[in-house]
């Protein structure tokens, strides 16, 4: 069985392997089926390692694997654990690729450990990551009506963090005092996808308006004139004025944190898909172009584009996965040389990520190594991290679908 991965707006031009892009270095395009089979094999190894006797604790979601370790370190699926939706999402994508019903059952069990989020007040903005990657993919593939109800309830919950005076969603309620106001982080762009979906599926126009307002304010206040992004914008809670632009996970307030820029690339591409307003498409290209221009030769960024110690600084494969997936979609909204440039860049990223330099293979049960979670906090540096795997398998499915059309 094959269930097509959602692929949006892709037209008819043929992929050019040489137009545009950062480098003229030759590269070998990956075999998407072969890499998806690799993911499936790793995922079975991971499930075996999670099994204790005959059972798995489905409330414990894989999060990271440090160098020298072989199995996932898991975290309890709680409201604080922002990555808990990615593992169920990986399982759903593997089910999409293979049609294997035993994987579907595992996907359901891990997904349903997050159902409690529909019954509690919003803890922070990560509800989109938590629920759209898990329940969202589950609903897309199964049409289970209970999943739809969960997503709609959680979208309403996320909307309670919207401050109309500011025009954005509050990312971290717990950090209002620390930052001196209403904080919005670039990552929050991804959570808008769930609001757009909910709006289209019975949640009402209000959710669409919140998502659009958030995207607009972020565009105004969270980018420098060269289209590189600030991780955090802080707003006066009452007047809504932007009072500070700074970083949390980047190297410095003035630098381009790789995953922050990746969230911007993915976020504005997705907002264009949902609104069809070309200002978002133009903006997605601008934030992509500055990212591509500054990439190292292997198309996988250092964790921050101004990280200390480059070229020996840690990489962030997760940022490369997020951007690769986004660029396959973005290419579909472009024509001619521009389309060729974006799809070639995505192909180069995936070729690099699929090499023995980045794939974990027999070193551990993840798909990929060499991601960086939070360098300033000395956390998850040069590790396998679950969201890298999520966007990697998503990108492979999108690439396969793209090639089937072109
Ligand atoms: N959303 C947090 C991160 O990208 O690390």
* pLDDT tens-digit series, residues 71-90: 999 999 999 999 999 999 99
User: Computed over its alpha carbons, how large is the radius of gyration of the chain?
Assistant: 20
* Number of the ligand 1 atom closest to the C-alpha atom of 249: 5
pLDDT by residue for the chain (406 residues), tens only, comes to 333 444 443 332 333 333 334 567 899 999 999 999 999 999 999 999 999 999 999 999 999 999 999 999 999 999 999 999 999 999 999 999 999 999 999 999 999 999 999 999 999 999 999 999 999 999 999 999 999 999 999 999 999 999 999 999 999 999 999 999 999 999 999 999 999 999 999 999 999 999 999 999 999 999 999 999 999 999 999 999 999 999 999 999 999 999 999 999 999 999 999 999 999 999 999 999 999 999 999 999 999 999 999 999 999 999 999 999 999 999 999 999 999 999 999 999 999 999 999 999 999 999 999 999 999 999 999 999 999 999 999 999 999 999 999 8
**How far apart are the C-alpha atoms of 258 and 268, rounded to whole Å?**
16
**How far apart are the C-alpha atoms of 80 and 87, rounded to whole Å?**
16
* Number of the ligand 1 atom closest to the C-alpha atom of 263: 4
Kindly report the protein residue whose alpha carbon is nearest to atom 2 of ligand 1. Answer: 187
Hey, which residues are catalytic here? Answer: 126, 187
**Among 80, 86, 259, which is best to mutate for testing ligand 1, by the most ligand atoms less than 8 A from CB?**
259
**Among 373, 383, 388, 391, which is best to mutate for testing ligand 1, by the most ligand atoms less than 8 A from CB?**
373
Q: Are 85 and 116 in contact (CB under 8 A)?
A: no
- What are the pocket residues of ligand 1 if the criterion is a CB atom closer than 6 Å to any ligand atom? 82, 187, 249, 259, 373
Spell out where 34-178 has E strands.
Answer: 60-65, 73-76, 162-163, 168-169
* pLDDT tens-digit series, residues 92-141: 999 999 999 999 999 999 999 999 999 999 999 999 999 999 999 999 99
pLDDT confidence of residue 17: 39
**How far apart are the C-alpha atoms of 5 and 172, rounded to whole Å?**
32
Distance 220 CA to ligand 1 centre (A): 21
pLDDT confidence of residue 13: 30
Distance 78 CA to ligand 1 centre (A): 16
Distance 55 CA to ligand 1 centre (A): 31
**Among 169, 187, 378, which is best to mutate for testing ligand 1, by the most ligand atoms less than 8 A from CB?**
187
Q: Which is it for strands 232-235 and 182-185: parallel, antiparallel or unpaired?
A: antiparallel
* pLDDT tens-digit series, residues 309-323: 999 999 999 999 999
Distance 396 CA to ligand 1 centre (A): 22
Kindly report the protein residue whose alpha carbon is nearest to atom 5 of ligand 1. Answer: 373
**How far apart are the C-alpha atoms of 300 and 321, rounded to whole Å?**
9
pLDDT confidence of residue 226: 98
């Amino acid at each position: 069985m094959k269930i097509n991965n959602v692929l949006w707006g892709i037209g008819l031009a043929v992929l050019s392997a040489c137009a545009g892009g950062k480098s003229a270095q030759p590269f070998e395009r990956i075999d998407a089926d072969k890499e998806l089979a690799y993911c499936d094999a790793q995922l079975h190894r991971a499930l075996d390692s999670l099994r204790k006797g005959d059972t798995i604790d489905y409330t414990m979601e894989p999060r990271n694997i440090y160098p020298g370790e072989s199995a996932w370190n898991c975290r309890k699926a709680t409201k604080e654990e922002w990555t808990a939706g990615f593992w169920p999402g990986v399982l759903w994508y593997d089910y999409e690729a293979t049609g294997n019903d035993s994987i579907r059952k595992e996907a359901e069990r891990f997904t349903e450990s997050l159902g409690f989020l529909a019954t509690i007040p919003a803890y922070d903005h990560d509800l989109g990551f938590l629920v759209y990657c898990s329940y969202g993919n589950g609903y897309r593939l199964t049409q289970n009506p209970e999943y739809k109800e969960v997503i709609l309830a959680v979208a309403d919950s996320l909307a309670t963090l919207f401050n109309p005076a500011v025009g954005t969603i509050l990312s971290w309620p717990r950090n209002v005092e620390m930052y001196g106001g209403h904080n919005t982080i670039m990552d929050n762009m991804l959570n808008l996808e769930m609001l757009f979906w909910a709006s289209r599926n019975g949640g009402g126009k209000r959710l669409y308006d919140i998502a659009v307002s958030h995207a607009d304010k972020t565009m105004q206040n969270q980018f420098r004139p060269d289209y590189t992004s600030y991780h955090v914008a802080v707003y006066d809670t009452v007047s809504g004025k932007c009072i500070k632009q700074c970083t949390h996970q980047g190297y410095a307030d003035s630098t381009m944190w790789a995953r922050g820029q990746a969230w911007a690339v993915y976020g504005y591409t997705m907002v264009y898909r949902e609104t069809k307003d070309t200002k978002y498409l133009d903006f997605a290209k601008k934030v992509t172009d500055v990212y591509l221009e500054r990439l190292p030769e292997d198309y996988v960024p250092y964790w921050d584009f101004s990280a200390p110690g480059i070229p020996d600084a840690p990489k962030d494969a997760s940022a490369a996965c997020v951007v690769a997936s986004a660029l396959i979609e973005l290419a579909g909204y472009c024509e001619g040389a521009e389309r060729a440039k974006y799809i070639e860049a995505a192909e180069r990223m995936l070729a690099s990520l699929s090499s023995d330099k980045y794939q974990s293979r027999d070193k551990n049960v993840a798909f990929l190594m060499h991601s960086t979670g939070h360098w300033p906090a000395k956390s998850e540096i040069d590790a396998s991290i679950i969201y890298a795997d999520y966007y990697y398998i998503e990108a492979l499915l999108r690439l396969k679908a793209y090639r089937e059309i072109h």
